[in-house]
């Protein structure tokens, strides 16, 4: 087994942590969506007449977008983790600088979509909680979890699930920023000029006179 470098260990740890965050975010949001009959409660509004009722909701594609982005990022991290372990075990050569540039572009694109997903969760939760407070059902979303919902809605843990999804999304975004920084450091290290021994006299061998 090849000796693991510090950067490789950091990269493997970041990929593992980002994988867990992506799975947690997608799972928590999907559970919440299932408890409300498949409706996306982000940016939704509620009414209160003794029981909470979801009067309006966002398009289902909005929750699907956030869940799919988190799941795809998690899959990418899982595959990268497997590749990193394989490279460490079999001592595969280091990636070329061109490959690193492509990875930087890919990670930057993923970061962009993760940022959008985290913002959707944050703003969507704020609007939902504002609607709950306006309906006088509860003073906060966390308190509204103890209120009953109109069947078949089951909102006993909707705030905890949404908060978990949002927290995981922002932590995942942070880990991907660290991955981008790690790739950038490696790419800059490969771009530094390296002089080989005897490079100042490349024609010494050819200048040796041939006798006889």
Q: What is the pLDDT of residues 157-169, one digit of tens each?
A: 889 999 999 999 9
Does residue 98 belong to any structural domain of this protein?
yes
Does residue 196 belong to any structural domain of this protein?
no
Greatest mean pLDDT among 14-23, 95-104, 178-187 lies in 14-23
Q: What is the pLDDT of residue 210?
A: 34
Q: How far is CA 3 from CA 14, 89, 133, in A?
A: 19, 8, 57
Q: What is the pLDDT of residue 113?
A: 96
Q: pLDDT tens-digit profile of 62-99?
A: 999 999 999 999 999 999 888 888 777 776 555 555 57
Q: What is the pLDDT of residue 166?
A: 95
3-state SS track over 142-209: HHHCCCCECCCCCCCCHHHHHHHHHHHHHHHHHHHHHHHHHHHHHHHHHHCCCCCCCCCCCCCCCCCC
Q: pLDDT tens-digit profile of 26-65?
A: 999 999 999 998 999 999 999 888 888 888 889 999 999 9
Q: What is the pLDDT of residue 119?
A: 96
Domain hosting residue 175, numbered range: 6-189
Q: What is the pLDDT of residue 201?
A: 43
Residue 8 pLDDT level (bands cut at 50, 70, 90): confident
Token pair 């010494």 is at which residue? 204
Q: What is the pLDDT of residue 195?
A: 40
CA distance 148 to 192: 63
Does residue 198 belong to any structural domain of this protein?
no
Neighbours of 161 (CB within 10 A): 21
> CB of 54 within 8 A of CB of 42?
no
Does residue 18 belong to any structural domain of this protein?
yes
pTM: 0.81
Of 94, 91, 42, 86, whose CA–CA distance to 64 is shortest? 42
Q: pLDDT tens-digit profile of 95-131?
A: 555 577 788 889 999 999 999 999 999 999 999 999 9
Domain count, the chain: 1
Mean pLDDT in residue range 179-189: 81
Does residue 139 belong to any structural domain of this protein?
yes
């Amino acid at each position: 087994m090849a000796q693991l470098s510090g950067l490789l260990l950091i990269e493997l740890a970041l990929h593992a942590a980002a994988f867990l965050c992506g799975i947690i975010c997608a799972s928590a949001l999907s559970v919440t969506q299932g408890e409300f009959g498949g409706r996306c409660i982000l940016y939704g509004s509620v009414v209160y007449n003794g029981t909470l009722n979801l009067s309006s909701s966002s398009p289902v594609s909005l929750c699907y977008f956030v869940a799919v982005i988190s799941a795809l990022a998690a899959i990418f991290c899982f595959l990268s983790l497997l590749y990193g372990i394989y490279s460490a075990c079999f001592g595969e050569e280091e990636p070329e600088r061109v490959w690193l540039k492509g990875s930087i572009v890919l990670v930057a694109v993923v970061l962009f979509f993760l940022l959008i997903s985290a913002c959707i969760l944050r703003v969507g939760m704020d609007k939902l909680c504002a609607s709950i407070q306006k309906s006088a059902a509860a003073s906060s979303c966390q308190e509204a979890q103890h209120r009953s919902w109109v069947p078949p809605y089951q909102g006993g843990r909707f705030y905890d699930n949404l908060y978990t999804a949002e927290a995981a999304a922002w932590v995942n975004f942070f880990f991907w920023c660290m991955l981008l920084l790690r790739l950038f450091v490696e790419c800059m290290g490969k771009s530094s000029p390296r002089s080989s021994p005897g490079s100042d006299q490349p024609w010494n061998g050819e200048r040796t006179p041939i006798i006889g």
